[in-house]
Amino acid sequence: MAGQGPDTSYRKPPRDRGCCSINFLKYVLFIFNFIFLLGGCAVLGVAIWTLLEKQPYTVLLRTGLYAAIPFLLLLAGIIVIFAALLACCAILREDRCYLLVYTFLLLLVFLLEAGGGVMAYVYEEQVMDSLSRSLTSTFNGGYMEDPEVTKAVDSMQKEYHCCGAQIFSEWQDSTWMKKNQSLNVTVPDSCCKTPSPYCGVRDHPSNIWYTGCIHQFKDELSRQLLILGAVGCGICLIQIFGMILSCCLYVKLKDVDDNYY
Instruction: Dump pLDDT digits (tens) for 125-173.
Output: 777 677 777 788 888 888 888 888 889 899 999 989 999 888 888 898 8
State mean pLDDT over 112-131. Answer: 80
- Supply the DSSP string of 30-50, one letter for each residue: HHHHHHHHHHHHHHHHHHHHH
Domain assignments of the chain as residue spans, ordered by start: 22-257
For residues 172 and 166, give the distance between their C-alpha atoms in angstroms, rounded to a whole number.
13
Q: What is the DSSP code (8-state) at residue 11? A: P
| pLDDT of 190 higher than 70 | yes
State mean pLDDT over 19-35. Answer: 82
Amino acid at 108: L
For residues 79 and 144, give the distance between their C-alpha atoms in angstroms, rounded to a whole number.
40
Beta bridge partners of 192: 208
Predicted confidence at residue 104, as pLDDT, reads 92
pTM over 0.85: no
- Supply the DSSP string of 82-135, one letter for each residue: HHHHHHHHHHHHT-HHHHHHHHHHHHHHHHHHHHHHHHHHHHHHHHHHHHHHHH
Closest CA to 162 of 117, 208, 211: 211
| pLDDT of 64 higher than 80 | no
**CA 119 to chain CA mean position, Å:** 10
pLDDT-based confidence at 216, cuts 50/70/90?
confident
| pLDDT of 261 higher than 60 | no
> Which range among 9-13, 30-34, 119-123, 172-176 shows the weakest confidence by mean pLDDT?
9-13
State mean pLDDT over 61-90. Answer: 84
More confident residue, 159 or 259: 159
Left if phi > 0, otherwise alpha if psi is -120 to 50, otherwise beta: which for 18? left
Angle at 168 between CA 165 and CA 170, to 5 degrees: 70
